[in-house]
């Protein structure tokens, strides 16, 4: 089996490669690339790379993910998240490769009472959410596809909420954090494992995939500080209060991003709890610090 990973410089692409290597996949059977090696918006370039390597599986992690910036750059974001995905899907169909696509809780408007299932009607309210859903639709043209809807992602290789909170803890003893958006953090180490499990089956389709348990951003921040012994008070505010206090404009964010994951449980395995994931991520961050000191 040969594996192509787009968006390798991001959090998830990095951990998918690590997971494949852990499972004794040969380095020569993995092509982990970023935009420098393959611009997904260039159809000819995508065709050339895919046809030369001929992967059995394509993990399509490349995407525009800056949610707020997306609002003022719709054409650019559409080009990456929709046209870019279409190019990869076309190439995957041409060689019979399986497509694995990362989607998001932003495909929903977050107004549902209760948990979102994979069958619920989408209603994206942001440029990011709309383009990621249109990307899903492109991926569905390949009958051999897995779409994983994920949220609140954190991993070692890139920027995320955990790193931001720990950085702010160095200079602040009190922080305003939103308490009316509820969802589930997703650790890329755990996500990579289930994605690699998926591609070894033909249980194709759309799956909600996050770590188990629900929290607000304020709960998330609180646990990050407590588990890292940081003495920071979390001042819980509404989204509206946060925007007023910071004077910022933001893209629409779903208030309810709680997923029903019974389909994942039925076909694969549920991920560990988000708190367990943070505990392991803290260890990974410490190990990274030690490595940097040695260099």
Residues annotated catalytic, as ranges = 128
Q: Max Cα separation, the chain? A: 55
Do strands 215-216 and 182-183 pair parallel, antiparallel, or not at all (unpaired)? antiparallel
Interatomic CA distance for residues 82 and 74, integer angstroms: 11
Strand partners, 58: 4, 99
Residue 69: its H or E element: helix 67-70
* CA-to-CA separations, 123 to 131, 137, 204, 252, in angstroms, rounded: 12, 14, 23, 12
Helix 274-294 and helix 217-227, axial crossing angle in degrees, nearest 10: 50
CB 6 within 8 A of CB 58: yes
- Residue 177 φ then ψ, to 5°: -135, 140
Altogether, the residues listed in the chain come to a count of 295
* CA-to-CA separations, 104 to 61, 93, 207, in angstroms, rounded: 12, 23, 11
Q: Which residues of 165-193 are buried (b: 16+ CB within 10 A; e: fewer)?
A: bbeebeeeeebbbbbbbbbbbbbbbbbbb
* CA-to-CA separations, 179 to 154, 218, 232, 280, 286, in angstroms, rounded: 19, 5, 16, 24, 28
């Amino acid at each position: 089996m040969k594996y192509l990973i787009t968006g390798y410089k991001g959090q998830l692409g990095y951990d998918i490669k690590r997971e494949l290597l852990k499972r004794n996949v040969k380095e020569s059977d993995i092509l982990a690339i970023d935009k420098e090696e393959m611009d997904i918006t260039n159809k000819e370039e995508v065709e050339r790379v895919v046809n030369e390597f001929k992967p059995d599986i394509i993990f399509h992690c490349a995407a525009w993910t800056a949610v707020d910036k997306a609002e003022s750059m719709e054409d650019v974001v559409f080009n990456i998240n929709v046209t870019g995905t279409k190019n990869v899907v076309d190439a995957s169909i041409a060689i019979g490769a399986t497509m694995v696509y990362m989607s998001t809780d932003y495909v929903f408007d977050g107004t549902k009472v209760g948990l979102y299932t994979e069958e619920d009607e989408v209603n994206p309210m942001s440029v990011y959410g709309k383009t990621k859903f249109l990307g899903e639709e492109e991926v569905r043209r390949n009958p051999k596809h897995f779409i994983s809807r994920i949220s609140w992602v954190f991993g070692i290789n890139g920027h995320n909420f955990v790193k931001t909170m720990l950085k702010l803890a160095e200079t602040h003893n009190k922080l305003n954090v939103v308490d009316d958006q509820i969802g589930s953090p997703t650790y890329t180490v755990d996500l990579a494992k289930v994605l690699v499990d998926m591609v070894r089956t033909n249980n194709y389709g759309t799956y909600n995939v996050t770590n188990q348990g629900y929290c607000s951003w304020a709960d998330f921040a609180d646990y990050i500080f407590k588990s890292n012994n940081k003495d920071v008070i979390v001042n819980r505010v509404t989204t509206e209060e946060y925007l007023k206090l910071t004077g910022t404009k933001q893209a629409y964010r779903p208030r309810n991003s709680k997923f029903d994951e019974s389909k994942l449980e039925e076909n694969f395995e549920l991920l560990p709890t988000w708190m367990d994931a943070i505990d392991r991520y803290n260890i990974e961050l410490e190990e990274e610090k030690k490595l940097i000191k040695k260099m």
